[in-house]
Amino acid sequence: MNVIRTNAPSQTQKNDAITLQEVCKSHDHISLTLPTEEDCIYFLLYDEETLLSVLCAFFTENMDYECSGFTHPGHRQKGYFTRLIETLLDETGDSDLIFPVDESCKDTIHALRAMDASFWYQEHIMELPLTQSIKTSRLKEGPSFDALSLSIASSPEETPIQCVFLLDGEQVGSCCLDSLEHGAYFYGFEISEPYRNQGLGSACLSLFLDTYFAHPNARRFKKLFLQVSGLNKPAISLYKKAGFQITESLSYYVY
């Protein structure tokens, strides 16, 4: 067995990792993929020319390492992934290792528990179909903000874009939108601290949906999706009111 540690995997190594990823996704019925950050560290365990296990990690702004990995279904519970984790730990020092996982994959949960990794929290992926007119009437049931306006930093043809919400000319919130292969990704939605808990979040989200997705060029997207912490109950409630539905949940474990 040979462990390779690299920040710049060769094309062959990338292809091997993608092949292993797809085998595991099909076997475990999950959608998780290896991260694509440029500063990732790859650990690859080969048996001659066959890749049996891969671990990918990157250093986050929270001073920890977010990790993802796959081990071939026919070669699990043999200590291969543990060997890659130990190799990573040799250089991470006291930094925490964070694992986003799908709870439905029993082998993954078994491996994390064997490592004594602790459950941290859940994060949900929520989606809003854009194949028909967006209905924001439920968002408009709260207070009315007649002086609320939206400033979009670029045209609907361009992404990522940054949007700023203005109330009487003063910035009260912001959000961002990016274009991905399978839809539009909504993120960074935030209301300024002094204006929270006044119904402004509903008003801003309604204004954004009505303004941006009314543009013909924005209708090329089939769905709008976002990620939200399972601990953020008010945000989940707001997004559900707008028509978003939870389509996938990730559990985060820390080691």
Rounded distance between C-alpha atoms, residue 205 and residue 140, angstroms: 10
Rounded distance between C-alpha atoms, residue 209 and residue 201, angstroms: 12
- pLDDT, tens digit, 9 for 90 and up, residues 86-109: 999 998 888 999 999 998 899 999
Output the pLDDT for position 253: 95
- Which amino acid does the sequence have at 148? L
Output the pLDDT for position 61: 85
Q: What is the pTM of this model?
A: 0.72
Output the pLDDT for position 217: 62
Per residue, the 3-state secondary structure of 183-222, as one string, reads EEEEEEEEECHHHCCCCHHHHHHHHHHHHHCCCHHHHHCC
Output the pLDDT for position 155: 66
Spans in the chain with pLDDT lower than 50: none
Residue 188, classed as helix, strand or coil, is strand
The β-bridge partners of 251 are 101, 122
Output the pLDDT for position 71: 96
Output the pLDDT for position 131: 66
Output the pLDDT for position 219: 62
